Amino acid sequence: MKINRIVYLLFSICLLVASHGWLPVAVDGESPHEGLQPSVEKRFAQPTDEVPDFQRHVTPLLGRLGCNGRACHGSFQGQGGFQLSLFGYDFASDHAAMLADGSGRVDLEEPLESLILVKPTDEDLHEGGQRYETGSWQYNLLQRWVAGGAVATGKPVRLEKLEVLPAEIILSEVNDPSQIELKVIAHWEDGSREDVTPLSRFQVNNTSIADVTPEGIVQPTQVSGDTHLVAFYDNAVAPIPVMRAVSTARGVEPVNAIEMAPTEVDSLVFQKLNKLGIRQSEVTNDVTFLRRVSLDISGTLPSPDEIRRFIANQNVDKRRHKIDQLLESKAYSAWWTTFFCDLTGNNSQQLRNLGISQDMASQQWYQWIRDKIERNIPYDEMVAGIAVATSRQPQETYLDYCNRMSELSRDRQSGGLASAQSMPYYWMRREFQDQETRAISFAHAFMGIRIQCAQCHKHPFDQWSQDDFQQFSKFFTGVSVSRTQGGSKARKEQVKQIFNDLGIDTKKVKGGQLQKALTKAVRDGQTIPFIELNVHPPRMDLKPEDRRDKTKRGKVHESAVLLGSQPLDLTEYSDVRQPVMNWLRQADNPYFAKALVNRVWAHYFGIGIVEPADDLNRANPPSNGPLLDHLAEGFVENGYDLKWLHREITNSRTYQIDWAANETNADDRRNFSRSLPRRLPAEVVFDAAKQAASSHSANQAFRNQIAGRAISIPGTNLNYGNRKGAPSSAFAMQVFGRSERLNSCDCDRSDETSLIQTVYLQNDRDIHALLGDRAGWVAEITKSQQQQAVSPADKNRMREVQKQLDRLNRMVKAKEERGDVKRAEQLRQQRRKQLAKLQELKKQGEQKKEPRVQLSPEQLVNQAYLRTLSRFPTDAEKAECIKYMSEQNSISSGLRGVLWALINTKEFVVNH
């Protein structure tokens, strides 16, 4: 009986250990080690006849030893005349470098004299220090490769999968001495499997939670929380989650199951929080929710009347209804158009070469996107309108194209190019001079990946090699920008004729002057010669000596490979960008939908599920993979409906929770257990100050009055649309970090805080101009607190009587001087009647005066808080403000001071 109990206890312990990922678990009754080739550490521990493979063993070992790293032979200039490809995977060049004639690095006749064996084992001889010992498994592996003929890798063998065991690590208490040993298994396309743990490199993304040795031993370090451990081998990057629970609490303590998980988003968030022992914060109050969702969706503060109505509304679905209402506002379309202009790089300076003014071009770009947002066009359709954009419509001649574009460019009421099928300006930016730049920008904008590292070497954090980058960039060779379509004689004559008709001599009028002349001509109703985007088959990059060889010119690339996909024959496509768009639209595309939903999530939470939000790479996995998958799959299933995505996120409990922390989530910033306060974007800061200081009617209509708003500035000319003499948003945009749209990086927009931002809000003339605006709220309140003036009609009557009095006074004086006493007395009698009439009119006017309904100091303070912080003041705040106002010389100075103080609070510039 005791034996049975012991066996049962041991069996239970094994199950517990396996369930926590501490041991690999067999699947379908098979051992995870069945058919597994042992590690090279075991196979080469002693001299052996086995010859290692250059790709599978030698190159990974050099990476493990650090030989092809930045600080050693992988640097741009190499070390000691020996250069390897950075992070490996350029097998041909690495093999050639190792076997270079006269280098002595590999000595096929005397293998033991090879420098790759002699130098790394000698600490004094090798500048990089001793890397391994003579007779070690590393030494034996390299010695057998040299002795076996130092054979190169032919065509690289594809690594189908890199498996890390355990697949998830649950750590025990901080500084627990227990350790977890990793095992890394390579699955090759030929079906073989090999333990490659000794050839793999490891990193932990947050070493304050756990650390890993070069041998793959994991142990807890300082704090609780979660991170990822990443294994690198060959071109593969494999992350696994690492967690240490904060407490024994669960994700939330609900009243019932429905409150706990009202949406699938919440269920997936709770699953992760429960593993970590983190309890989610409570749902926030109505006023905080209203301010947060209004700023996030529409970039606009709620008005005081709107706040009062929302508080009074007892409908249980009022938050859902408010979200729907915001998604139909003009400010929503304007604010999210700015979001997509950031994403696609609507930079005015990059549009100087189009012929028309750069501001007109950036405005057309903005209007085109805004039209799609207002009509809720599916995201994939909007992207297709950019990705495979063309200048001309089917069967359209160049002259017809110029006529159409000229007409659209002066049609401001209907939005100009807004109705066009595509937006070619994305491809017509001045920086897009080569296919590599186009590939980098496209991958960043629509796939959320930073592929530029692979332009020069193997990507350090992803699977992409330099060849992968070059193959992908071939899809962007088929476009060019010009007026003359490759310099054809017929086109040149057409362009010349249009310039002649305009009376413009292009030999004398150039650059900015030409741009101004063409812009004026368009606005005056004339047709101008537009630059156009030409689409053509991609051309081979020829060496200078081959460019004159007609047999080599004009050849197309036969094939190209999409990232992680199969080769495509480019000769099958008239536009080689089309297969890229087709690939993005595939339901299983790993980037397109995920990149967008992750960025939108980051907009609402201040941090992405993948963070940074534009860096989807294997070494930077999502903090909640199932959550990202759910949003991406739902986005695709719902036809790339942007409003579905906004609703799915903002209707969740996770979005609507409070920022105040509890005892379990104070340190959590990546699992969405509480709302993270975020500084308002630059455009929203300025608009919020402007709205807070505006009159009652302007404040009420602010969400649907877009003209002059900072959130509707189309390009990067920050003075665009500003009225002369009115407060300008330009300096505020710079101070608060509006995106400059210069680089393929979301970091072009800054949410950092700085001292100059404080100085701006306190002392800048634009802020004081807003507060002192004669048409603003302070002036409006000042007038309303005074008595009502005499009516205009009464004023006119009194003015006429006064004129009569003045005339009679002059006449009386003249008669007295002449000695006409009788006539002078008659005039005095008339004057007395007019004077009595004037006094009666004044008396009646005073009786008609009725004081307006005056607001008490308490009401004024409430209104000021609702306008700025979107909440009512506390009793202490109210008392302090009333005291301050009572000490001022006038209502206007007191109220202006209160409003200025509120705009300068942290609460005003933060969305919480």
Identify the band that residue 538 occupies on the pLDDT scale cut at 50, 70 and 90. low
Name the H helices within 556-612: 578-584, 592-605
Position 878 scores a pLDDT of 96
Rounded-to-integer distance, Cα 711 and Cα 685, Å: 10
Position 809 scores a pLDDT of 87
Identify the band that residue 133 occupies on the pLDDT scale cut at 50, 70 and 90. very high
Identify the band that residue 74 occupies on the pLDDT scale cut at 50, 70 and 90. low
Identify the band that residue 225 occupies on the pLDDT scale cut at 50, 70 and 90. very high
Question: Is the link from the previous residue into 567 a cis peptide, with omega within 30 of 0?
Answer: no
Amino acid at 23: L
Position 486 scores a pLDDT of 58
Position 788 scores a pLDDT of 55
Rounded-to-integer distance, Cα 239 and Cα 182, Å: 12
Highest-confidence range of 169-173, 423-427, 535-539, 562-566, by mean pLDDT? 423-427
The greatest distance separating any two alpha carbons of the chain, rounded to the nearest whole angstrom, comes to: 147
In this prediction the pTM is 0.85
Rounded-to-integer distance, Cα 146 and Cα 100, Å: 14
For helices 379-387 and 435-447, what crossing angle results, to 10°?
Answer: 170
Rounded-to-integer distance, Cα 95 and Cα 88, Å: 11
Mean pLDDT within 25-44: 71
Alpha-carbon distances of 282 from 260, 650, 654, rounded to whole Å: 11, 16, 9
Amino acid at 432: F
Name residue, tokens 């032919």. 154
Examine the pLDDT at 79 and tell me if it is beyond 90: no
Highest-confidence range of 93-102, 411-420, 768-777, by mean pLDDT? 768-777
Rounded-to-integer distance, Cα 712 and Cα 692, Å: 18
Q: What is the pLDDT of residues 549-588, one digit of tens each?
A: 555 544 444 688 998 888 898 888 889 999 999 999 999 9
Which SS3 state, helix, strand or coil, does residue 339 take? helix
Position 19 scores a pLDDT of 38
More confident residue, 854 or 622: 622
Query: Mean pLDDT for the chain?
Result: 87
Examine the pLDDT at 29 and tell me if it is beyond 80: no
The phi, psi pair for 38, rounded to 5°, reads -60, 165
More confident residue, 462 or 49: 49
Q: What is the pLDDT of residues 330-350, one digit of tens each?
A: 999 999 999 999 999 999 999
Rounded-to-integer distance, Cα 377 and Cα 544, Å: 46
Position 838 scores a pLDDT of 84
Examine the pLDDT at 14 and tell me if it is beyond 60: no
Mean pLDDT within 34-44: 92
Pick from 90, 84, 80: nearest CA to 67:
84
- The separation between the first and the last C-alpha atoms of the chain, rounded to the nearest angstrom, is 62
Position 756 scores a pLDDT of 95
Identify the band that residue 2 occupies on the pLDDT scale cut at 50, 70 and 90. very low
Position 174 scores a pLDDT of 56
Ranking 321-335, 599-613, 738-752, 860-874 by mean pLDDT, the lowest is 738-752
Mean pLDDT within 199-212: 94
Token pair for 648:
């799915």
In percent, how much of the chain has pLDDT > 90? 57
Can you say whether residue 28 is alpha, beta or left, with left for phi > 0 and alpha for psi between -120 and 50 degrees?
Answer: left
Residues 6+ apart with CB under 8 A from 473: 435, 436, 438, 439
Examine the pLDDT at 489 and tell me if it is beyond 90: no
Identify the band that residue 84 occupies on the pLDDT scale cut at 50, 70 and 90. confident
Mean pLDDT within 844-848: 67
Per the CB < 8 A criterion, the answer to whether 176 and 220 are in contact is yes
Which SS3 state, helix, strand or coil, does residue 722 take? coil
Identify the band that residue 5 occupies on the pLDDT scale cut at 50, 70 and 90. very low
Q: Which long-range contacts (CB under 8 A, 24 or more apart) does 219-223 make?
A: 219/176, 219/177, 219/178, 219/179, 219/180, 220/171, 220/172, 220/173, 220/174, 220/175, 220/176, 220/244, 221/174, 221/175, 222/174, 222/175, 223/174, 223/667
Examine the pLDDT at 260 and tell me if it is beyond 70: no
Mean pLDDT within 158-180: 84
Determine whether 506 is exposed, middle or buried from the number of CB atoms within 10 Å of its CB (0-12, 13-18, 19+). Answer: middle
Per the CB < 8 A criterion, the answer to whether 522 and 506 are in contact is no
Q: What is the pLDDT of residues 705-723, one digit of tens each?
A: 999 999 999 999 887 666 6
Mean pLDDT within 37-66: 94
Pick from 684, 689, 682: nearest CA to 766:
689
Position 791 scores a pLDDT of 67
Position 126 scores a pLDDT of 76
Identify the band that residue 424 occupies on the pLDDT scale cut at 50, 70 and 90. very high
Per the CB < 8 A criterion, the answer to whether 273 and 279 are in contact is yes
The phi, psi pair for 543, rounded to 5°, reads -70, 155
Position 374 scores a pLDDT of 96
| Number of helices (H), then strands (E), in the chain | 35, 17
More confident residue, 510 or 714: 714
Examine the pLDDT at 758 and tell me if it is beyond 80: yes
Identify the band that residue 831 occupies on the pLDDT scale cut at 50, 70 and 90. confident
Examine the pLDDT at 495 and tell me if it is beyond 70: yes
Mean pLDDT within 71-84: 76
Position 725 scores a pLDDT of 55
Mean pLDDT within 498-525: 88
- Burial readout 112-151 (b: 16 or more C-beta within 10 A, e: otherwise): eebbbbbbbbeeeeeebeebbeeeebbbbbbbbbbeeebe
- Give Cα 27 distance to the centre of its chain: 41
Ranking 12-16, 245-249, 612-616, 883-887 by mean pLDDT, the lowest is 12-16
More confident residue, 197 or 557: 197
Per the CB < 8 A criterion, the answer to whether 743 and 731 are in contact is no
Position 103 scores a pLDDT of 84
Mean pLDDT within 433-448: 94
Rounded-to-integer distance, Cα 244 and Cα 172, Å: 6
Q: What is the pLDDT of residues 781-815, one digit of tens each?
A: 988 776 555 667 777 888 888 888 888 888 888 88
Ranking 52-66, 259-273, 468-482, 491-505 by mean pLDDT, the lowest is 259-273
For helices 682-693 and 330-344, what crossing angle results, to 10°?
Answer: 150
Name the H helices within 454-525: 466-473, 489-502, 511-523
Pick from 833, 907, 896: nearest CA to 860:
896
Ranking 93-107, 220-234, 650-664 by mean pLDDT, the lowest is 93-107
Amino acid at 190: D
Position 638 scores a pLDDT of 98
Rounded-to-integer distance, Cα 216 and Cα 181, Å: 6
The phi, psi pair for 125, rounded to 5°, reads -75, -35
Per the CB < 8 A criterion, the answer to whether 279 and 208 are in contact is no
Per the CB < 8 A criterion, the answer to whether 382 and 372 are in contact is yes
